[in-house]
A and B are shown apart, each in its own frame.
Chain A
Amino acid sequence: MQPILVVLGLVAFATALGLLWKSQQGRVRRTASTIDLPEGVTLGGRATLLQFSTEVCSPCRATHTVLDSLARETDDVTHVDFDLTHRPDVAARFNILQTPTTLILDRDGVVRARIGGAARRDSVLAELTRIGAAA
């Protein structure tokens, strides 16, 4: 086996993996499921941005900033950042495999969208508009 071929193959494989990972980040999946809210979480008047984070996740901070400013600018939309670091039970209950994961809940608490990975401002705003929580 030629070392140079293996080295080039590894770099190509890792690049393909990275592009695949990047394309999945922040993707919005629409759902219509009901959940039992984690304890201490109350619904916003028109929508709730329920974010799941851990301490070992740096993009969680960026997503927190994005969702926090969206909630501030939009009436009756609240943002809750739930720390799963010490709560594997909650992670299992909501089937969270990666952080950040964001659930967009409507006024009735129905999960209308699920975003895996760092959330983008424009796609969250589009979902809020779709469910009638933002103009």
Chain B
Amino acid sequence: MTTPRGIDPRGPRFTATLTAVLLLTVVALGIAGTTYVINTSSGWSAYEITLKSPLQRLLEPGAILFAVLVLIFAWSATQGVAKHPFGLFFRAVIRPRLTPPAELEDPAPPTFAQGVGFLITATGLVLHLLGVPYALVIAASLAFIAAFLNSVFAFCLGCQIYLLLVRARIIRPKGAALA
């Protein structure tokens, strides 16, 4: 097991809180700015899909914020959660004002969670750009639930889904004997 250097466990909690608030903002913006109008004037319900290019969809306020979050997830999943921009802010501004932590934590679990966050949000963003109705709102809601549980309940995503993903052959650990 590689344990480069322990991180303050409050760092990922802070990151999750900020991420949850931003994801909730995406949900609200996504619903407010939704372009699928239900037309009931003609006596039947129908979705009036406005024709927009992927670029126009990307420039919606909710989508811009969501795209930034996708990039942050990608960055910290590949570079390690210690380099997460919100985590850097925590270390520079907030941590000096707190008492030192009782113990340090392995960065691997929160880094794994960032990877899951990337998969969910990136899928949602791509579907949204392709014009799938409510893809943005649904993906942001799922990611929000995970971030909220992590922030408020210290929920550990890796504990609950790593083995499921491995056993479903979605993740293939190196050198693993297959089930």
A-to-B contact residues, CB < 8 Å: 1-4, 6-7, 10-11, 13-15, 17-19, 21-22, 54-61, 83-89, 91-93, 96-100, 117
Contact = CB atoms under 8 A, between A and B. Distances in A.
Interface in B129-179: 137, 141, 144-145, 148-149, 152-156, 158-160, 162-164, 166-167, 173-179
Given A14-B148, A99-B162, 10 more contacts: A3-B31, A14-B149, A21-B155, A54-B158, A56-B109, A56-B159, A56-B162, A58-B109, A59-B156, A88-B178
A57 B162 contact: yes
Main secondary structure of the interface of A (DSSP, over half): helix
Contacts of B112: 56
Contact of A57 (B9, B24, B159, B164): B159
A18 B149 CA distance: 6
Interface of B: 1, 9, 24, 27-29, 31-32, 105-106, 108-110, 112, 137, 141, 144-145, 148-149, 152-156, 158-160, 162-164, 166-167, 173-179
